[in-house]
Chain A
Amino acid sequence: MDWKRFGFIALIITVLFGAVVAVGQEQQRPLLIITSMLATTISVATPLTLGALSGVFCERSGVVNIGIEGMMLSSAFFGWFTAMYLSNIYDWALMPSIITGAIVAVLAGALMGLLLGWLSITFKVDQIIGGTVINILAVGLTGFLNRQLFFGKSSLFQGTVPSSPGVFSAAHFPINEIFSPLCGSGALCLEDVNAINRVFDQKPIALLAIALVFVAHYVLFKTRWGLRTRAVGEHPKAADTVGINVERMRYVNVLIGGMLAGLGGAYFTLESIPSFEPLMTNGRGFISLAAMIFGNWTPIGAWAAALVFGASQALQINMQLFRDSIPEQWAFLQQSYVVGLTPYILTMLILTGIIGKTTPPAADGTPYEK
């Protein structure tokens, strides 16, 4: 990841934030708008970050993963279903059931990863086809199970959708407690500190995702495992001749990728909203791929790119609060679907390569034949 790329990312985020501040400043102070945008950005970037990390591990080892979308969708379903089943049938409390749900989501992702590995490593199926299989399978499977389990008289819950146990609550960083005494009696100051605190009060999967970015960076670039992973993705034959088991390296990395995508899936139903809807990942898996490519197959770069997409979603959410302040000549922006296009337009823009070319691992997408 070069500085030009990071600069471009910073620029776009600034523009997106600036747009909301420009529109909303009559109703709210800029700092409050910015902190609110930041908090949303970090939160909604979570599945994109995890999806992009999934891609980084798979593709660094030489397996193209366009099945991230499907991995996320199936994990979102199975994680949510597990949590609901445990809380409704066995009367488990909220936390145990959603934590178990999250674990099941990760395992579901691993299973999907195993399927991708089985197709593309063992059977050397074209990896694009393998990923497509996963995407189609996930849509069909989750849609079918969703209907069978919850709708119709003979279904598990006799045609009623039971109440969901809920979602993870945010962790609390004691920024307020530490800094508010410094404000004395200034009401504005207290408000600021409170707003800043809210940026840090993220939910567990969001925090875990950020930690995983740095763990992934360390693993890939500082450890033996990372060196070997990159080697099998660049020149598998070279790795083979020094005694590295190429297939095993690829399998394990694709499993790791599946688990990361699975955790990203858990975000949708266990951290964001307490329900499942068919197709709810809504292209986020593919946007993750764009983030991974724009981040040049590096964890930190991919995270930065995921934040751009997060910011564009935050723009959409925050713009609605201020829709009455949108000037007359920009009235079309009041339609939420217009602003809602930003992430997708950004994806296209970013993938055109206006900011220079990125280089995938040399053996990305090529099955290894001795």
Chain B
Amino acid sequence: MTELVLEAKGITKQFPGVLASDNVCFDLRQGEIHALLGENGAGKSTLMNVLYGLHKADKGEIMVNGQLAAIQSPKDSIALGIGMVHQHFMLIPVFTVAENVMLGDETVKNGALDQKTVAARINEISHQYGLDVDPNALVGSLPVGIQQRVEIVKTLYRNANIVILDEPTAVLTPQEAEDLFRIMRDLTARGVSIIFITHKLKEVLAVADRITVMRAGKVINTVLPAETNEAQLANMMVGRQVILTVDKKDHPAKDPVLEVGDFCVHDSRGLEVVHRVSFTVHGGEVLGIAGVQGNGQTELSEALTGLRLASGGRVQMAGKDVTNQPPRVITATGLAHIPEDRQRHGLVMSYSIGDNMALCDYYRAPFSKNGMMQPKALDENARQLIQAFDVRTPSSFVNAGKLSGGNQQKVIVARELSRDVKLVIANQPTRGLDVGSIEYIHSEIIKMRDRGVGVLLISAELDEIMALSDRIAVMYRGNIVATVDAKKVSREQLGLWMAGAQTA
């Protein structure tokens, strides 16, 4: 057996109201990728924050390289060779790569920062591990995939031999994720040991040497990828049987509910990012828009929902021209919108759940009468929706900002899908959510479809597009390069279109 580089024994951490980590044991072998799998709130991040010294455990001990380690702060863990790449990058956008990498471990010559030596060191690391980064680039100007590399370089710069990757693929495109997996394998080949935190089952099976599943602060089991499968892992994660495939019946499509013709949109910098796009969504069907993020999907959905002005073309919704109408008019015409950024466009974080659930209709009866809000109606509405959509919250008066990502999304879904709508535009509806919530939101979308509502689903997750859509349109550089029947297309073919390799 290979050497254990890290051992956590009986880690217990109590937060007000939650036992985030309950007598957790975890170990890491030299040169392995050990995946830590679990839903949001299962205690993965808490365990890692304890290992990294950001939190102090109430009980338990940590052994590093066979020695008992007293980790009080990140300083101690860094000294022990532990590095962590956080889910939300710990990078300063206005600093250069070199400044970010050296921060906290600066090289100083005659009292001044020695940028040259640091840059040389970064180049050396880049070279050695195939992590191409420019030390003089401003971090804020780099794409997320590269920023993540900077984070990894940051840990290697500090001579880390244990690297913790916290949800590293959450922000990456499929290609960037592939690249990351290659880097991870390179690192382990050079003796670095990796803890890979995620809730994505496919990734775990593809890249991990061992898999430990956590649920509700406890370790459920540690398994080998060869001896398990997606269904079993999902089962362990959620604690019940999870249906990974979406069950949907065939039924004939109805009249068009959304007709988009020659639609052009400019982005905030004034560049045209959607070029004369045309498509139709019928009642009772899901049209999936596949594509790597940043190919105009964001601007397209913003322009369709009234958040951004289109620069050309027309939009008909349920037979009515709604081109460049304000959001309220479009909403009243029968649109349900699940926005891409739920915290910025979907919710008012400092409002209660009840108020958030009335955001579309607050100005009319029963929520408002003669200019006065009706607390009773708001409360009743909230209670009903919280129950119907299974929002986990102590009360309807809790601020939306206090909820977990999954529950925030449920609040939005409850508000939007409970209204009488003809069209749903869902942009990245399950990004960053756990398996249980994903399953729930998928089933709600299909319910809408079966009720005869048209659904425009925009997602960068190919699996999601393939599972839900009746037809799939692929977006590449602001154009729809292909529109196909979802049953008659392969994953590989879609991948090629998404990469711009072919047009149909």
Give residues in A with beta carbon < 8 Å to B.
218, 222-224, 227-228, 230-231, 234-235, 237-244, 362, 370
Contacts and interface: CB of A to CB of B under 8 A. Distances in A.
Interface stretch (B100-108, B237-245, B312-320): B100-108
A242 B92 contact: no
A222 B112 CA distance: 5
A227 to B, nearest CB: 6
Given A241-B90, A242-B78, A243-B78, A223 B95 contact: no
A250 B445 CA distance: 49
B54 A231 contact: no
**What 7 A-B pairs have minimum CB-CB distances, sorted nearest first?**
A242-B104, A243-B75, A238-B90, A224-B106, A222-B112, A234-B92, A241-B90
Interface on chain A toward B: helix, strand, loop, or mixed SS? helix
A241 B74 contact: yes
Nearest to A370: B54
Interface string B50-93: 00101000000000000000000111001000001010011111
B105 A242 contact: yes
B113 A235 contact: no
Contacts, number: 66
A363 B113 CA distance: 23
Contacts of B91: 235, 238
B111 interface: yes
B416 interface: no
Contacts of B75: 243
Given A223-B112, A244-B104, A238 B78 contact: no
B94 A234 contact: yes
Contact of B52 (A228, A238, A241): A241
Given A242-B105, A243-B74, A227 B113 contact: yes
B355 interface: no
A204 B54 CA distance: 47
B388 to A, nearest CB: 35
A227 B96 CA distance: 11
A243 B92 contact: no
B99 interface: yes
Interface on chain B toward A: helix, strand, loop, or mixed SS? loop
B95 A242 contact: no
Given A234-B95, A241-B90, A243-B104, 12 more contacts: A227-B102, A227-B103, A227-B113, A231-B92, A234-B94, A235-B92, A237-B90, A238-B90, A241-B54, A241-B74, A243-B73, A370-B54
A244 B52 CA distance: 14
Nearest to B99: A227
Contact of B111 (A223, A234, A239): A223
Nearest to B94: A234
A242 B90 contact: yes
Nearest to A244: B104
Contacts of B112: 218, 222-223
B104 A239 contact: yes
Nearest to A240: B74
Contacts of B86: 241
Central interface residue in A218, A224, A228, A237, by most chain B CB within 10 Å: A224
Contacts of B104: 228, 239, 242-244
A67 B155 CA distance: 40
A227 B114 CA distance: 12
Nearest to B158: A242
A241 B113 contact: no
Nearest to A224: B106
Nearest to B107: A224
Nearest to A238: B90
A223 B112 CA distance: 5
13 contacts: A218-B112, A223-B108, A230-B92, A230-B95, A231-B95, A235-B91, A237-B90, A239-B103, A240-B74, A241-B54, A241-B84, A241-B86, A243-B78
